[in-house]
Structure 1
């Protein structure tokens, strides 16, 4: 009996042995995690009751390892990790079965990407510090004793030249002879 059980275990190990070192499994899980960036796909999973299956919910819990830095560097769609985290909540899973919630998530995702660059630049670019922010609180007495720098010298103002002649700029329409019509016409034999 024990030898039969041992042979069954070894046959199962051979059967599920990964011949490619786990590459295929890695790619399949990466593709699935990327699919989670799409609210329509999450809605599809919710409407087809995948989220009611405990083994599927356990699989979503297992996929949280993609949030680790050594795996997240392979993620192309960062919203996938955000939705993966939200899918751990049963209330979010049930809410995504309604089309209105799917549209709301899709719209918010669209607005995020629409304004992503300008919002990111606001946080990345250094802002101009005012005079009060330049002075640390501990050195305020020393800073008060130091005189502010003198204003920059005024540049002499010159009167504009009186004999100003504008330079003509030629555009593409000026280059063409005025009598030629550039529209395509059907060929008319002579």
Structure 2
């Protein structure tokens, strides 16, 4: 039986085919979406360790599509990219920088939907000009002599644009009545009745 060389003896094989490592790296990279955690890493001088900086560079493979689909907090990839810059790593050691990053992240989340709706919703048609013919309404039918003319019928209203809040509470559903913020009764009256 042939003996194994020292380099062949040191090859490590994951018992679970890398599943545990995958989950640990996924959990760590998603923690980077939290500016407070990045501040913690900076305060504890992790960013001064060259091995840790190398690990952050290694984790950039999560930006590839086959790994990207597992990430639930996409801000972690934004912060991972920022952590490649030594200036950002040093700045995150200060509480004021952490607060600025946290505030900017909050405003992004707060306004993201409205900003996206500006680009998704259909835009109104441009105004008609003198060059384009305007279709006229058909003339009303002739009225027989001795009868009253029919009541004028308004032309059909133009189709309205979809609501920017398509998931609102439908009118008449009864859900808005149970919402305490929309209560029409005076609180003082409820206390007296109870």
| Both proteins in one fold, TM over 0.5 | yes
How many angstroms does 1:91 deviate by? 0.7
Question: Which residue does the alignment assign to 2:36?
Answer: 40
**Match status 1:8 vs 2:6:** yes
Aligned length: 147
1:56 to 52, 56, 74: 52
The change in CA–CA distance for 1:96 and 1:156 in structure 2 (over 3 A counts) is same
2 CA distance for matches of 1:102 and 1:126? 38
Deviations for 1:45-66, whole angstroms, at most 9, x for unmatched residues?
A: 1111111111111111111111
How many angstroms does 1:150 deviate by? 3.2
1 CA distance for matches of 2:130 and 2:54? 63
Question: Which residue does the alignment assign to 2:78?
Answer: 82
Deviations for 1:58-81, whole angstroms, at most 9, x for unmatched residues?
A: 111111111111111110001001
Alignment of 1:1-190 (within 5 A): 7-13=5-11, 16-131=12-127, 146-150=132-136, 156=152, 183=194
Question: Matched residue of 2:10: which SS?
Answer: helix
CA RMSD of aligned residues (A): 3.0
Normalising by structure 2, what TM-score?
A: 0.66
The change in CA–CA distance for 1:112 and 1:145 in structure 2 (over 3 A counts) is closer
1 CA distance for matches of 2:30 and 2:17? 22
2 CA distance for matches of 1:83 and 1:67? 12
By percentage of residues, which structure has more helix? 1
How many angstroms does 1:113 deviate by? 1.1
The change in CA–CA distance for 1:182 and 1:49 in structure 2 (over 3 A counts) is same
2 CA distance for matches of 1:94 and 1:34? 21
Normalising by structure 1, what TM-score?
A: 0.67
Question: Which residue does the alignment assign to 1:186?
Answer: none
The change in CA–CA distance for 1:88 and 1:153 in structure 2 (over 3 A counts) is farther
2 CA distance for matches of 1:108 and 1:125? 25
Question: Matched residue of 2:98: which SS?
Answer: helix
Give the number of the structure whose alpha-carbon radius of gyration is greater. 1
